Amino acid sequence: MSNVVIVGTQWGDEGKGKVVDRLAARADLIVRFQGGNNAGHTLVVNGEQTICHLIPSGILHKGKKCLIGNGVVVDPEVLLEEIENLTDKGVTIAPANLSLSEKAHIIMPYHKAMDHAREKAKGKEKIGTTGRGIGPCYEDKAGRVGIRAVDLFDPDLLKEKIEGNLKEKNFYLTQFFNAKALDANQIFDRYCEMAKILRPFIRNTSLMVDLAAKEGKKILFEGAQGTHLDIDHGTYPFVTSSNPVAGSACAGVGVGPDKLHHVVGIVKAYTTRVGSGPFATELLDDTGDYIQEKGSEFGATTGRRRRCGWLDLVMIRDSVRLNGLTSLSITKLDVLTGLDTLKICVAYELEGKRIEATPASLKELAQCRPVFEELPGWKDEIASAKTLNQLPAETTNYLNVIEEKTGVPISILSVGPMRDQTIEIKDPFSRS
């Protein structure tokens, strides 16, 4: 049996939650390895929508162990609220089925205050962050002044770190951003309260994953955001603050690359983006509005309207290379139903030259013009299809072009939002 990594191949919002939910049914451990509550994985089970921001999507399956790895930055208030909301829905959450890495960094109120103050100061030049303190928390992690989950066990150290960090943060907030200062004692008292509740959940998750691997258990590694939001490989600076690529699963969980066997790249059947930044295939017309409305393209975390465009295979080929993709999972294929003609971007044209990869320069990327292949659309609804043979010929043709141009086979198709509206061509957990 294989261990499986799930990654997004675009700018996030590809529908990873549904794929993780499906594969979690046959996994033993589901491990989140990066990002924070700036991610939102939307699941629809028995007609009810559930959005997970920090807790791995597999929590909806009984008997599964869900872990939040050290690569995730965690807002304890959000985590506790998510636990409460899921519990209210009848989902059992306890240390027996949920663990948080003792090495995970903790988002503090000053991280969120800095995030909001910076975006406000930038005005029209803002990055478009979610304002949840993700970036500033990763900054403190890299600056070696971060607070980790294990620090919540040591009140003296926790207070010392909060007071030390606030000297700098309050200076910036009041003197540079003209914002309010934060009170160290209030923060300390609140985090001590939350620490008491979270303490049973905090474990050495690296050891837990290693033991599971030695016992031959199936492990599902769940990423957030998408490859082109990667801090190193994305459309910088319009990116997230972590590495959503598959290799990050090793660092973000604490395992070696020998534990990663099958990497599934989630590809939305078209392209969407939230926030600022170049978007070569963006549709600013009725077709874009049609896709946006039919696909209900609003951010699961922010509620912001997503920008929509045609499928960009230049991006996907970059993701194939950066992640070492084994297979693709195509999501929201049903949204394209009803369009007379479909377009797929197969290359860019820059200054009269055809290029096959995304330029690092945002100035050059903004000048790129998509080279499209046009394909006939389909009118018949596909949401009830259970096999490839039940799909219209035009749909199959669309999928064949994706496989041909990326060189990667498709393992899973999503033809609707419900769990059972899925066609599985190959089980990613199988090595055959």
Give the model confidence (pLDDT) of 296-332 as tens digits: 998 766 677 899 999 999 999 999 999 999 999 999 9
Q: Which two tokens stand for residue 339?
A: 């369009």
Find how far residue 367's CA is from the centre of its chain: 27
Q: What are the catalytic residues?
A: 13, 41
* 3, 219 contact by CB (below 8 A): yes
The four Cα atoms 150, 156, 158, 159 give a dihedral, to 10 degrees, of: 170
Cβ atoms within 10 Å of 321's Cβ, excluding its own: 12
Mode of pairing for the β-strands spanning 410-414 and 353-355: unpaired
Domain residue extents for the chain? 4-101+204-262, 105-198, 267-424
Measured CA to CA, the distance from residue 203 to residue 103 in angstroms comes to 9
In the prediction, which pLDDT does 45 show?
60
Measured CA to CA, the distance from residue 36 to residue 55 in angstroms comes to 10
In the prediction, which pLDDT does 260 show?
97
272 residue type, one letter: T
Topology of domain 267-424 in CATH is: Adenylosuccinate Synthetase; Chain A, domain 3 (3.90.170)
SS (H, E, C) 19-51: HHHHHHCCCCEEEECCECCCCCEEEEECCEEEE
Q: Structure pTM?
A: 0.93
What are the pLDDT digits (tens) for 344-371? 999 999 999 999 999 999 999 999 999 9
**What are the DSSP calls for 106-164, one per residue?**
E--HHHHHHHHHHHHHHGGG-----SSSHHHHHHHHHTT---BGGGGG-HHHHHHHHHH
**What are the DSSP calls for 361-427, one per residue?**
-HHHHHH-EEEEEEEE---S--TT--SGGGS-HHHHHHHHHHHHHH---EEEEE-SSSTTSEEESS-
In the prediction, which pLDDT does 383 show?
95
Measured CA to CA, the distance from residue 34 to residue 94 in angstroms comes to 22
Find how far residue 77's CA is from the centre of its chain: 20
Topology of domain 4-101+204-262 in CATH is: Adenylosuccinate Synthetase; Chain A, domain 1 (3.40.440)
* 269, 336 contact by CB (below 8 A): yes
Q: Which two tokens stand for residue 19?
A: 């794929």
Q: Which of 335, 283, 286 is nearest to 312 (CA)?
A: 283
Q: Which two tokens stand for residue 359?
A: 């330029």
In the prediction, which pLDDT does 44 show?
64
Looking only at Cα atoms, what is the longest distance across the chain? 66
Domain 105-198 -> CATH class = mainly alpha
35 residue type, one letter: G
**Helix and strand counts by DSSP (H, E) for the chain:** 12, 20
248 residue type, one letter: S
* 177, 121 contact by CB (below 8 A): yes
Chain position carrying tokens 């909001």:
116
Q: Which of 319, 340, 330, 293 is nearest to 414 (CA)?
A: 330
In the prediction, which pLDDT does 123 show?
73
C-alpha torsion sign, points 140, 141, 145, 151: positive
Residue stretches of the chain with pLDDT short of 70: 1, 41-47, 124-128, 300-302, 432
Measured CA to CA, the distance from residue 349 to residue 156 in angstroms comes to 59
In the prediction, which pLDDT does 134 show?
94
Nearby residues of 211 by Cβ (< 8 Å), 6 or more positions away: none
Measured CA to CA, the distance from residue 432 to residue 59 in angstroms comes to 28
Measured CA to CA, the distance from residue 37 to residue 35 in angstroms comes to 7
Residues forming a β-bridge with 348: 355, 370
Measured CA to CA, the distance from residue 334 to residue 398 in angstroms comes to 12
Residues forming a β-bridge with 382: none
* 33, 66 contact by CB (below 8 A): no
Question: What percent of the chain lies above the pLDDT cut of 90?
Answer: 85
